Structure 1
Amino acid sequence: METYDAVVVGGGPAGATAAQTLARAGASVLLIDKPGRIKPCGGAVPPKLIREYRIPDAQIVARTQGARILAPSGKEVDMPIGQGYVGMVDREHFDEFLRQRAADAGAVRRDGAFDRFERDEDGTAVIVFAPAEAPDDEVRVRARVVIGADGARSRLARQTVKGAHKVKSVFAYHEIVRAPEAGSGSHYDPRRCDVYYDGRISPDFYGWVFPHGAVASVGTGSQVKGFSLRGAVKALRQSAGLDGCEIVRREGAPLPYKPAPRWDNGRDVVLCGDAAGAVAPSSGEGIFYAMTSGEMAGDGALAFLATGDARALAGVRKRFMKDHGKVFWILGIMQHFWYRSDKRRERFVSICADEDVQRLTWQGYMEKELVRRDPGAHARIFFKDLAHLLGMSPR
């Protein structure tokens, strides 16, 4: 068996970033990814990600200048960004770019499907996977440390990390369609993200129409069993005037909405990305948090390789939650309260029309941190929010 310092299972943004972090530091890394899998994703990436992870312009397929929020009644609220833009990426090409960048840094790439986690006679971790070129065969490799980045309901996590099976998920589904030409009569705008808060589109999440250059992502998500995601997307396409557009591909996958309580096995495995539940509640945003958690997992693995102290792996979740836990907590409360009925969604959309809400929302999203420099605006939002909660504010 070949032996690596680290084996990374899963080559999405989290796994590819973890592999690059390790390889760039001189560790021997094997990156295993199941080919032909494209995650359903709106594809939005904030300027902070583009800047800090040096994403080239060629990967940005669209630049949006704002969002339009739509309520169950049909009410529309525009949220212009002002300065800057939100980038959009196509996961089919973006993920491959990240995997290749990891390989350029020195990681070894293998296409294959993870099967199981074992241990050698001396206790060293062994990863067993089926190679893509011979799916009936088994390949076994040893690893001093293992990083699980194989998505929501991670198979590796369920075999190695206590409580991993308890992480709840929304099931997301989208259709990539040919974007309509200007003047076609649709509501589509290639410079804008449309977000639908409507129980007919999703009883507990939201629907979206996001531009991707020549194509667009039209999708929704829900954890309600029996809810027809395909039917909802069909209705969403009709509402957006996109029902006549050619469907390029369809994709669906579970999307976690709460960080897992534990990201490591106390010995030699650490999780990141969707496998760790590193997805923002309320918005479902995952690419930034996947890459951030992947980099942290890579750093934690390097510290573990240098010291042999498993606390370096346990520290990955602590570091992530220290940086982003408060935002996740606030977004979780928002999702729990505002997404429960169309009456509340209607009021939520009304709140989005407030200038203070828009300004602080975009500032927080673009740089991924709570904005503390304007206490007056926070106070105004609090009292306006309270008025909506008590039904004292007009819709």
Structure 2
Amino acid sequence: MSEKIYDVVVVGGGPAGATAANDLALAGHSVLLMERGGRIKPCGGAIPPRALDDFDIPQSLLVARARSARMIAPSGRAVDMPVGEIGYVGMVDREEFDEWLRERARMSGVERLTATFDKVERDEHAHPIVTFRRERGGPIEKVRARCIIGADGARSSVAKQCLPDAERVKCVFAYHEIIKSPQMGMIANDDAYDPDRCDVFYQGKLSPDFYAWVFPHGDTASIGVGSANKGFSLRGAVSEMRSELDLTRCETIRREGAPIPLKPLKRWDNGADVIVAGDAAGIVAPASGEGIYYAMVGGRYSAEAASQMLLTGEAKALKTARKRFMKDHGRVFWILGIMQYFWYSSDKRRERFVDMCDDKDVQHLTWQAYMNKKLVRKKPLAHVKIFLKDTAHLLGLRPASS
């Protein structure tokens, strides 16, 4: 075992782990970032402009800037939601984006290691041991740390070993195919794909409990679907969507699938020396499935909590990460969870949901909340109007458009 004791070993090099590692290194801590490599998370790749400002992300990492979203109902009715003057939705390719974050962490002083996490061990000494393999079937190696951050994704091995009930987190399984973007005239209906638009399909045939998507990535596009229904064919749904949109002739570059948690864990730390972040902490937004920005925020909060614990020796500092996140974003997650539970439960309700998205007040407050990552309070009358309209839709007093 290495004689060096790291201040922090971060397991997982996605946006949460890489952000946590970078922040800790900049704070003067010794950090080992362990990433298994060879895996790209299925992700639409959307991030708000605020993420670029909050985490010093260069514009050059954006492969596209979506200026609108199109919501497609079970009937095929499409409602366009232009972003307007308040900005755009930035699109990144996770293969390039995640590696840039990891390399930035290395340049900040983080030691990178390509390896697969095995387990956390303890002995008579004060600090835990992280065991790992550099290659499949290779020998077990060990390193000691004062603190461990588990950022190893949904159904995190670190969380399962160190936190109570972590294995019970409910997940949606996501699958997408990255294809070469269609060129002008390549598909029968040019309006079926727009390089400046994110398309979201609320159709039970494509997902019985979530949604499907087509997101532009510049020269490529992400076509995907999510569902918690184990008997539902995600590949079949993507194949059907590509066929209906005339995208079957577009070259498939890669296929990826992974579970995505949609509810924050009740505990992020073990009360001593382990804390989780990102998908491992369950912080992907319900209803929308947005995770990149929240992962980076969670990674930062966990890093700050770990740093405080290292500096003070007080393990209770680790609890501040979850408290801060839930204070800042818990209400949004709660509302989105209710929305997903109700509006995604049947095609009849999905139809009404898309109809509701045609409302200008809904569109304005939705984009304001997305850009600012908090509920907008500046227009109380608009909130009242939306509440009344939502109630009318809920009671069926307003007919769904067709």
Specify the TM-score bucket, using the shorter chain as the normaliser: over 0.9
Q: Pairwise mapping of residues 82-101 of structure 1 onto structure 2 (< 5 A)?
A: 82-83=84-85, 84-101=87-104
CA distance in 2, matches of 1:131, 1:137: 8
- Counting aligned pairs with the same residue, the percent is 60
CA distance in 1, matches of 2:301, 2:246: 42
| Residue 81 of structure 1: aligned partner | 83
Asked if 1:119 is matched to 2:122, the reply is yes
TM-score, normalisation: structure 1: 0.99
Q: 3-state DSSP class of the match of 1:275?
A: helix
CA RMSD of aligned residues (A): 0.9
- Report the CA distance shift for 1:98/1:135 in structure 2 as closer, same or farther (over 3 A): farther
| Residue 180 of structure 2: aligned partner | 178
Q: Pairwise mapping of residues 134-173 of structure 1 onto structure 2 (< 5 A)?
A: 135-173=137-175
Asked if 1:318 is matched to 2:323, the reply is yes
CA distance in 2, matches of 1:390, 1:243: 40
| Residue 281 of structure 2: aligned partner | 276
Residue among 191, 199, 202 paired with 1:197: 202
Q: Which runs of 5+ in 2 are unaligned?
A: none
Once the two structures are superposed, what CA deviation does each residue of 1:181-225 show, in whole Å capped at 9, x if it has no partner? 023234110000000000011000000000001100000010111
Q: 3-state DSSP class of the match of 2:370?
A: helix
| Residue 372 of structure 1: aligned partner | 377
CA distance in 2, matches of 1:241, 1:327: 36
Asked if 1:345 is matched to 2:341, the reply is no
Once the two structures are superposed, what CA deviation does each residue of 1:46-94 show, in whole Å capped at 9, x if it has no partner? 0110111111122100001010000000000000000211100000010
CA distance in 1, matches of 2:185, 2:137: 48
| Residue 207 of structure 1: aligned partner | 212
Q: Which amino acid aligns with 1:199?
A: G
Are the aligned partners of 1:128 and 1:140 in contact in 2 as well (CA < 8 Å)? yes
Residue among 227, 230, 238 paired with 2:235: 230
Q: Pairwise mapping of residues 32-47 of structure 1 onto structure 2 (< 5 A)?
A: 32-47=34-49
CA distance in 1, matches of 2:56, 2:271: 33
Are the aligned partners of 1:200 and 1:232 in contact in 2 as well (CA < 8 Å)? yes
| Residue 293 of structure 1: aligned partner | 298
Once the two structures are superposed, what CA deviation does each residue of 1:127-147 show, in whole Å capped at 9, x if it has no partner? 001014x75112200000000
Aligned structure 1 segments of 4 or more residues deviating by more than 3 angstroms: none
TM-score, normalisation: structure 2: 0.97
CA distance in 2, matches of 1:312, 1:182: 55
Once the two structures are superposed, what CA deviation does each residue of 1:161-189 show, in whole Å capped at 9, x if it has no partner? 11111111000000001100023234110
Q: Which amino acid aligns with 2:120?
A: F
| Segment drifting more, 112-121 vs 266-275 | 112-121
Q: 3-state DSSP class of the match of 2:115?
A: strand
Are the aligned partners of 1:70 and 1:349 in contact in 2 as well (CA < 8 Å)? yes
Q: 3-state DSSP class of the match of 1:141?
A: strand
CA distance in 1, matches of 2:38, 2:61: 19
Are the aligned partners of 1:151 and 1:275 in contact in 2 as well (CA < 8 Å)? yes
Count of residues in Structure 1 that have an aligned counterpart in Structure 2: 394
Are the aligned partners of 1:147 and 1:269 in contact in 2 as well (CA < 8 Å)? yes
Are the aligned partners of 1:195 and 1:209 in contact in 2 as well (CA < 8 Å)? yes
Q: Which amino acid aligns with 1:293?
A: G
CA distance in 1, matches of 2:396, 2:251: 43
| Residue 362 of structure 1: aligned partner | 367
Q: Which amino acid aligns with 1:124?
A: H
> What's the CA shift for 1:240?
2.3
Q: Which amino acid aligns with 1:292?
A: V
CA distance in 1, matches of 2:245, 2:336: 27
| Residue 216 of structure 1: aligned partner | 221
Q: Which amino acid aligns with 1:171?
A: F
